[in-house]
Amino acid sequence: MAKILVIEDNAANMKLASLLLNNAGHYVLSAIDAETGLTLARSRQPDLILMDIQLPGIDGLAATALLKQDPLTASIPVIALTAMAMKADQEKSQIAGCDAYIAKPLRYRELYRAIDILLLKEKTPRVWLASISEQTPASEKAPSSEKAP
Ligand code: MN
C-alpha cells in the first residue's frame, strides 16, 4: 500500500483514478488544481503522484518542474497523465521531470505496472519509463527486414 496523490481537474477522471488506486490497496489524496496539489505534496509527502497535464492555472508540466526543484518533493515519482498519446507531450513530460507517462483513458494494467515499477525504483536514479505504454504508433515501428517466405 502506498500513499498516492492524484492531481486531476476532471471529476470523472479523478473518480476512476481513485477507484483503481483504492482497488489496488492504495491510499488516495486528491487535488483538483496544481496549487492545492503542490501544497499537499509538501505537507503529506505522498509516495507517488499522478499528474494530469491539462490543469487550470499552473499546468501539470509546470507543476512537475516545481516539485522537482523543491528538495522537499524532488524525490517523489511523478506519472504524467495526458489525454493525447503524442510524442511531443511525452518529450515535454520528460523534460519537465516526470518519471513516467501514461495516456488517458486510464487502463488499470498500465497504471498498476507504472506504479509498481516506480515504487520499486524509488531509491534509484530517475528512469524514463516510456516503455510502459503499450501503444506504439505504427509510424514508429521499425520496418521489418525479413522477407516473406
Ligand atoms: Mn485536466
User: What is the distance in A from the centroid of ligand 1 to the CA of 11?
Assistant: 9
pLDDT tens for 67-84 read: 999 999 999 999 999 876
Whether residue 146 is contained in a domain is answered as no
User: What is the distance in A from the centroid of ligand 1 to the CA of 57?
Assistant: 11
β-pairing verdict for 78-82 and 100-103: parallel
DSSP 124: S
Whether residue 145 is contained in a domain is answered as no
Q: In which domain, by residue range, is 81 found?
A: 3-140
Place of cell 507517488: 48
- pLDDT higher than 90, residue 56: yes
| Cβ count near 25 (within 10 Å) | 8
- pLDDT higher than 60, residue 130: no
Whether residue 113 is contained in a domain is answered as yes
Whether residue 95 is contained in a domain is answered as yes
Contact indicator for 44, 5 with CB cutoff of 8 Å: yes
Whether residue 58 is contained in a domain is answered as yes
Measured CA to CA in angstroms, residue 90 lies from 74, 84, 147 at distances of 20, 9, 33
Whether residue 149 is contained in a domain is answered as no
Per-residue pLDDT, averaged over 112-129, amounts to 73
Per-residue pLDDT, averaged over 53-70, amounts to 95
Cell numbers given for 75: 524525490
What's the number of domains the chain is made of?
Answer: 1
pTM given for the model: 0.80
Whether residue 25 is contained in a domain is answered as yes
Per-residue pLDDT, averaged over 7-35, amounts to 97
Whether residue 103 is contained in a domain is answered as yes
User: What is the distance in A from the centroid of ligand 1 to the CA of 5?
Assistant: 15
Instruction: Name residues with Cβ closer than 5 Å to ligand 1, which is an ion.
Output: 9, 52, 54
User: What is the distance in A from the centroid of ligand 1 to the CA of 64?
Assistant: 14
- pLDDT higher than 80, residue 141: no
Q: Residue 22's domain is classified under what CATH number?
A: 3.40.50.2300
Q: Is 56 helix (H, G, I), strand (E, B) or coil?
A: coil
User: What is the distance in A from the centroid of ligand 1 to the CA of 51?
Assistant: 9
